[in-house]
Copies of this chain bind each other. A is one copy, B any other.
Amino acid sequence: MELGFGERDFTACCGSKKFAEEMSRAGPFTSLEQALEASRDIWFNKVDINGWLEAFAAHPQIGETPSVNEKNETSAKWSKGEQSIALATASNCSLQELSEWNSWYKQKFGFVFLTCASGKSSAEILGELKKRFSNRLIVELEIAAQEQMKITELRLVKLFDARDSRTPHAIN
């Protein structure tokens, strides 16, 4: 079965316009595995530095709930889900500390601190942020690109799950 996704679906997985365009062009995908493979190739080999920064900028700051006015509702909803453990384990105090470290990180590197937050507590995220803060810019760029890829992969899985649950009786 081949059910196509639109650019808006792929933008919810990764906020780079170029990524979404190339995924649309590469599809339709006959399987999740095929989409994952294409997404890795596109993200690491076809999206340029401006696309990377565009994708990073599409994330809310870790510890902050995305606003309802986010450009991409699906992305905002998924982001909230990915941060659910962090938010559930955070006190006002640790959220404040997270917010301060986030600001310092952004000031130092020029982009938001990015980590695949799924399953991580706020303390774990804060520890990771503090540790990564001393890295060189080029190292953080590489880590951020890899974390973005993990987030994209998890979201592609959700995209395919949602499609499959909408078409339970489809025949290949």
A residues contacting B by CB (< 8 A) are 44-53, 107-111, 136-138, 141-142, 145
Contacts and interface: CB of A to CB of B under 8 A. Distances in A.
Contacts of A46: 108
> Would you call the interface of chain A mostly helix, strand, loop, or mixed?
helix
Given A49-B49, A49-B53, 14 more contacts: A44-B137, A45-B136, A45-B137, A46-B108, A48-B107, A48-B111, A49-B110, A49-B111, A49-B137, A49-B141, A50-B110, A137-B145, A138-B138, A141-B141
Contacts of A110: 48-51
A49 B110 CA distance: 6
Contacts of A137: 44-45, 47-49, 52, 145
Contact of A141 (B109, B111, B138): B138
Contacts of A50: 110
Contacts of A53: 49
